[in-house]
Structure 1
Amino acid sequence: MTEKEANFTKDLLERYNAGKCSEAECRLVDSWFNYQAANNPEMPGSDDIELIGREIWHNLPASGYVAKRHLWYKITAAAAMLAVVCGIFLHVNSRRNNQPAVAKQKQTILPGTYGATLTLGNGNRIALRALQNGVFAEESTVTISKTAKGELVYKVKDTGVATPQVNTLSTAKGETFKVELPDGSSVWLDAASTLTYSTNLATADIRKVSLTGEAYFKVAHDAEHPFVVKTAGHEVKVLGTEFNISSYPDDDVETTTLIKGSVSMSTANQKVLLVPGQQGVVNNGRIEKSAANIYAAIGWKNNEFVFASQDIRAIMKLIARWYDVDIYYEGNITNEKISGNISRFADINSVVNILRATEMVKVQIDGRKLIISGIK
C-alpha cells in the first residue's frame, strides 16, 4: 500500500470513529468490518489491515452517491465493496430523486443466533442455547441429547411399549435451530417457529408433525410410513423428500416449496402434487401451483436474506423476525419491489443502509424499533 493510500485509509477510519463519514463511506467501512467478523474472528494482522486499506483505496468514489440507471439501483463507487462482500444487488421499478443523507445510527442490533426452547411431555421447558452437550432427557422410548454442533437429536433406545409423549420445539424471534427427529428426519426451524411431534415417530403408522412458522424438512425415506406436516391452512404428505414450508400466522398465504422427491399438498377441498422446483401457495383454502425460486425459498437456511421482488412490508417482516425488532410505519410506503440478498449474519446497520440506498424509504433506528417512512 502506497503512502497516499495509507494516509487516506487512516483518515477515513479516524473520521468513521468520529462519526464524520458520509453515508457512502460508512457503508464501505461497515462492509469490511462485517466481512472480517464473519470470516475471521481473530484480530486482523498488519497484512490484513494493509489489504483492507488497499481495497478501500481502490474503491474510493469520485463522489459518494447511489447510482441510478434505467430501472436499476446499484451500490457503486464508495459502496462497491459492500456489493462484493454482501453479494447485494438492488432492483426497483421506478426512478427517484436524490434522498437526503441520514446520519449514521449508533445503535447496534445484532443478528439472530442458534437457540430454541424444548417443551417435554411433562410440561418441562428446556432452554437449549445455554444447555451443555450430551443426553439431558428421556421420553417414552427415546433419549434426547444436544450435540457438539448444538443440534437436538432423538435416539430410539428400545422398542418396548410406552406411552408416546408430545414434544414441542420453539424458536423465538432471532433464533434458529436444527433437530433430528426419532425417525431420522431432520428439520431446520427458522425464527418465530414451532414444531410439534410425538416421540414415537420411528414406529408410528403415520409420522405426523405440526408446524407454525417456517421450516426446512429432510424426511427419512419410509415407504410404509408416510410423513405428514400439518399447518393452519394445509397438509403436506411425503414418503421421503426435501421441502420448505412457510406458514406464519401474520402472513396472508402459506407456501410449500419442493426441493427433492415429490409431495402431496391438500386443503379441505383440494389436493395437488408437486414435483421438484414447484411450489404450492395456499390462499383462502385454495392451492395455486407454480414454478419456485428455490434460491429465495431456502435462503434463510443458507444464512441469507434473499429478496425476490418483494415490497418493503414483506421484507420488514423478515427483518423483524430475525433481528427481534419492532417495525413502525409513517406516511405513504411504496409498494414497489426490491430484489437482492445479504448475509443474515450482517448487523442491522448493513441492512438499513441497503434499504436507504434504494431511495424508496427512510429508515430510522430507535432502540429496538425501526421506523420506516415514505419519501415524498
Structure 2
Amino acid sequence: MSEKEIFDLLHRYASGNYAPEDAVKIRQLMADSRYHAVILDFMDAFWEKLEDRAENSPPVSRDQKDLIFQRIAGKMEPTIAPVPKSRNIVRIWTLAGAAAALVLFISVLLSRKAADSPVVQRDVPIAAVTDIAAPAATYAYLQTDNGLKLGLKELGTLPGSPALITENGSVMVRYISQQNNVPRQSQWHELVNPRGSKKINLTLSDGTLVSLNAGSTIRYPAGFTGAIRVVELKGEAYFEVAKDKKHPFTVHTGSGDVEVLGTHFNVNTSRFDSVMQVTLLEGSVKVSHNGRSDVLHPGEQAVVGDVIDVSRAVESKQVLAWTNEEFNFTGMDLREILKEIERWYDVDITIAQNVPEMRLSGILSRNLSVRQVLDIVSLSSGIQFTINNKIIMVTAGE
C-alpha cells in the first residue's frame, strides 16, 4: 500500500466511516513493523490538527508519541496498576498489536482535546444501520401528577412549571427558590431522562442541585412541604443538597433510602438489579434498607441489597465519570459495561451463553459511536458483536 492509501485508510477508521475489510487491513498494518513509521506520521498529523482546535494544548514530542504507540500496541510492559481481587483482567490499553492501538490513541485525543465533537450520523435506511452515534442532546421531559407531559421547550409556559436554562452548553430545569412568604406548592413533578439522552441538570425549589443520567427518573414536589424533603429516584443521579438542618433531605429508591442534611453524593440503582449504590463525596449520609442502616463518610461507598456493604476507599472520579461525558470501566465486569452501553446509546444487547466472565479496565470518551466503543471492547476481550439497528448481539470470539 502507498502512504496515501494508508493515510486514507487510517482517516476512515478514525472518523468511524470504515468498512469491515478496512478493520482487517488495520490489523494487518498494526502487525507489520514496516508500517509503524507511517502510522506514527498519521498520529503526528492527527495530533497537530487537534492541537489547532484546542486551547493551551501542551506540545507532544515524537518520542512521547512513539512511547504511546508502543505501550498501546503491547510491546512494552504497561504502567497501569492491575485491578485487585480478580484473576481474569483484560486491560483495554494493552491490546497486543491490534487495530485498537489506533482507536485508543484517537479516543484519548478525542476525550482530552475534542470531546465535544459529535459523531456524524449518515443518512442511510433504517435497515442498514450498523452504528449509532452518541447522544447529541438531552431528550428529557417533565410529567405532573395530573397527567400533563411537557417537553423541555414547553417549560415555563404554564403556571407552576419550572424554567429551562442553558449555561455553558448544559441544560438545566430550574424551579424558583422558596421564600418564607411564598406558599409552598404540593404538586409532584417527575423529570424523565430516557436512554440515549445526555444528562439533564435540575435545581429543586430548595436550591438542591441534581444531575440526572440517561435512563433515569426523579420524582419530587414542585415545592417542599412538611418537616422533611423527600425525592424518589430510579436510575442514577448526582446530588448537591442545599443545607437545611430543620428539614432533612431523603432520597427514596426501591432498594433503600439515603438521608442527609446537606452534602454531595451519587446514587445509582441501574448498575445492579435490586441494589442501590451510594458514593459520598462530601459531608455524611445515612443509608438504610429493611431495618438496617450505616453512616458513610467522604470517600466511602455503600452497596445496599440484602445487606449493606461499605467500601472505605473509593475512586470518586470513576463514579462521576458520566457527569464528565466519560466511560470509566476500571475493574468493571463485562456485563456491567454492556449495561452502561445500553443506557447511553439506547440499544438492547443480547449476550450469548458462551461469553465468559471477565473484567476490563479503560477510560473512553462518551462521544464515540457505539461501534467505536464496542470495537475497543471486542479487541481487548475477544468477544464479537453484530449491530442491527438498535439490537446488538454479543458472542464469544473464536
TM-score tier by shorter-chain length is 0.7 to 0.9
Q: C-alpha distance in 2, partners of 1:61/1:287?
A: 43
Contact 2:355 2:395 in 1 (8 A): yes
| 1:227 paired to 2:225 | no
CA distance in 1, matches of 2:12, 2:290: 63
Say whether the 8 Å CA contact 2:302–2:311 is kept in structure 1: yes
Distance 1:11 1:161 in 2: 65
Alpha-carbon deviation of 1:231?
0.5
2:163 to 145, 155, 171: 145
- Tell me, in whole angstroms, the C-alpha distance in 2 between the residues paired with 1:153 and 1:179: 6
Matched, 1:283 2:305: yes
Higher-RCO chain (CA-CA 8 Å, sequence separation at least 6): 2
Secondary structure of 2:309's aligned partner: strand
Task: Specify the alignment match of 1:194 in structure 2.
Answer: 217
Amino acid aligned to 1:212: K
Pairing 1:25–2:26 present: yes
Task: Flag the 1:327–1:204 CA change in 2: closer, same or farther, 3 A.
Answer: same
2:237 is the alignment partner of 1:215: yes
Among candidates 328, 331, 353, match of residue 309 of structure 1: 331
- Picking from 94, 118, 143, the partner of 1:119 is 143
Count of residue pairs brought into register by the alignment: 333
Secondary structure of 1:322's aligned partner: helix
Give the aligned residue type for 1:182.
Answer: S
Runs of 4+ displaced beyond 4 Å: 4-8, 10-18, 26-29, 57-62, 64-73, 76-79
Q: Which amino acid aligns with 1:144?
A: P
Q: Indicate the residue corresponding to 1:51 in structure 2.
A: none
Task: State whether residues 235 and 267 of structure 1, in contact with CA within 8 Å, keep that contact through their aligned partners in structure 2.
Answer: yes
* 1:185 match: 208
Residue identity opposite 2:151 in structure 1 = A
In the other structure, the counterpart of 2:119 is none
More moved, 158-167 vs 331-340: 158-167
Of residues 344, 353, 357, the one that matches 2:375 is: 353
Pairwise mapping of residues 162-181 of structure 1 onto structure 2 (< 5 A)?
163-175=185-197, 176-181=199-204
In structure 1, how many angstroms separate the alpha carbons of the residues matched to 2:186 and 2:357? 49
Change (3 A) 1:252 1:361: farther
Aligned to 1:240: 262
Q: What is the deviation of 1:254?
A: 1.2
Identity value in percent: 28
Change (3 A) 1:153 1:8: same
Match of 2:228 in 1: 206
Q: In 2, Cα distance between the equivalents of 1:249 and 1:136?
A: 36
Task: Show structure 2 runs of 5+ residues with no match.
Answer: 31-38, 55-61, 79-88, 110-127
Task: Give the letter aligned to residue 269 of structure 2.
Answer: S
3-state DSSP class of the match of 1:317? helix
Contact conserved, 2:326 with 2:366, CA < 8 A, in 1?
yes
Q: How far off is 1:58 after superposition? A: 7.1
Q: Supply the AA of the counterpart residue of 2:162.
A: I
Cα distance in 2 for partners of 1:170, 1:352 equals 27
* Deviation (angstroms), 1:191: 1.2
Q: Secondary structure at the match of 1:355?
A: helix
Establish whether residue 136 from structure 1 lines up as the match of residue 180 from structure 2: no
How far the C-alpha of 1:106 sits from its partner, in A, is 6.8
Helix, strand or coil at the partner of 2:192 = strand
Q: So what's the TM-score if we normalise by structure 1? A: 0.76
- Inter-partner Cα distance in structure 1 for 2:254 and 2:324: 26
